[in-house]
Amino acid sequence: MLAVDESSREQIDRILQSHALRSSENLRRLLKFLADKSLAGASDGLKEYTIGIDAFGKPATYDPKYDPTVRIHVGRLRQKLMEYYQTEGKDDPVVVDLPKGGFKVSWHHRQHIEEKPPSNRIRAWLVIPVLAVAAWAAYVTVQLQQQRRDAAVFRAQWTPEIETLWKPFVASDRPLLISISAPIFAEFPGYGAFRDGNVDRSDDLRRSKTVALLEKALNNTPAQPLIYFSTIGDAYVSFSLGRLLASRKANVSMVNGNELSWRQVSENNAIYIGSPKFFNQQLRSMPVSTELYLEPRVGVHNLHPREQEAAIYVDEYQQSRITGTAYTLVSHTPGPLGNGDVMSFAGRNGAGILGAVRMFTETGAARTLIGKIRKPSGEIPRFYQVLLKVRFQDGVPLETSYILHRELAPLGNK
């Protein structure tokens, strides 16, 4: 730990003015708040509630159990600090860290012992993937079992409105699989891993011109497909949804989306979460004719627009992708053989997906949604698609609104 002196404060000021934090006032405010508390020796007793009230101006009714704002921003701040020291702060003598498990900022002197990569350009390309899905899924599955003894909190969230939306899944004897989307990375043994946004399947890796250039630059090191990583946002949503459903259902597991076979989907109920480019092909093979389709790099297509509806809905961003509005498509379809249930929360933005999941897990929002999709008979459709619009700031969803929905009929039942 570096002695608290002027260099500690100067390093915080340097990071606050960096490109990494310049576009996020919330993260700058959070770093300054936590650093001031740590420098004053008052960080040991910090709680989410205190940070929410004092750093983010939350009302006195703020409840961290239902509002993850602080947790999300702390996670983003840790990521931004890592990015800062990998780029513009790579030569800074003082390293600022925010260790997991608390809110205490630490300082220490950097030790320059790392081996330099082949070139600065390649160094910028190589990334450390965010989260290991295989390890995360195994950990979460165990945690879901262990936390049932503490499930009273989640049972309290299980209101009639939540029951209405999730009854097909929790009332079924079929096991429930929650699938976390896992992007394909190109791994270069001894160097790191690289993500080509145009590569969505292992078979596409060999056709990537960028990957071929990297192989040549890295001493002809052959790239290997790496499929065990996902984004923090998708993993967080999956974990939160899994905990809620596990309070009502015993056989809930999380799986790597790339390893979810057609046979598994046919024998279990499934929930897909994340970018549709990783599971669109499976969803389009379900025995149902869909009305809405999310094209990964374009937007949500409305195949048969009704009066005052658009033919396509496209995400909008303000300066960066962490603030704006995003559309999330929620689809509830039958399983591959016409039995079972498959749900997907598909979107191009993690904050949009989180906002959509809240619509299905918070009582007030669920009540509003049910009122929108309810049929004249009073029932909600057995299978349906719902398009939701999420307004978010600094990666945190602020408001989720209903746009439209369609009832779906299984093929052969029209």
Helix, strand, coil % in the chain, rounded to nearest 5: 40, 25, 35
The mean pLDDT value of the chain amounts to: 81
What distances in angstroms separate CA 241 from CA 43, 254, 358, one per listed residue? 31, 10, 9
Residue 156, pLDDT above cutoff 80: no
Break the chain into its structural domains and give their ranges.
Answer: 6-112, 150-177+269-407, 185-226
Cα–Cα distance for residue pair 194/185, rounded to 1 Å: 6
Across the range 241-245, mean pLDDT stands at 86
Residue 229, pLDDT above cutoff 70: no
Contact 273, 316 (CB under 8 A): no
Across the range 175-179, mean pLDDT stands at 90
- pLDDT tens-digit readout, 364-377: 999 999 999 999 99
Please indicate, yes or no, whether the overall pTM of this predicted structure exceeds 0.85: no
Q: For residue 164, which amino acid is it?
A: T
- pLDDT tens-digit readout, 118-143: 445 444 445 444 445 555 555 555 55
**225 band by pLDDT with thresholds 50, 70 and 90:** confident
pLDDT at 339: 87
Distance of CA 401 to the CA centre of its chain: 19
Cα–Cα distance for residue pair 50/352, rounded to 1 Å: 27
Tokens 């999420």 appear where?
390
Do you know the residue count of the chain? 414
Higher pLDDT, 308 or 56: 308
Handedness of CA 166, 255, 297, 334 (dihedral sign): negative
pLDDT at 1: 42
Taking alpha carbons only, the member of 260, 242, 244 closest to residue 252 is: 242
Question: Could you give the percent of the chain with pLDDT greater than 90?
Answer: 27
Q: Give the end-to-end CA distance of the chain in Å, rounded to a whole number.
A: 68
**110 band by pLDDT with thresholds 50, 70 and 90:** low
pLDDT at 399: 93
pLDDT at 165: 95
Q: Compute and round to an integer the Cα radius of gyration of the chain.
A: 23
What distances in angstroms separate CA 308 from CA 27, 314, 316, one per listed residue? 39, 16, 20
Cα–Cα distance for residue pair 126/193, rounded to 1 Å: 6
Which tokens in the block code for residue 89?
A: 């702060």
Cα–Cα distance for residue pair 309/306, rounded to 1 Å: 5
Burial of 322 (0-12, 13-18, 19+ CB in 10 A): buried
- pLDDT tens-digit readout, 399-411: 999 999 999 998 7
Across the range 228-245, mean pLDDT stands at 76
- pLDDT tens-digit readout, 61-85: 888 877 778 888 888 888 888 888 8
Cα–Cα distance for residue pair 384/341, rounded to 1 Å: 11
Cα–Cα distance for residue pair 342/121, rounded to 1 Å: 43
Across the range 371-397, mean pLDDT stands at 93
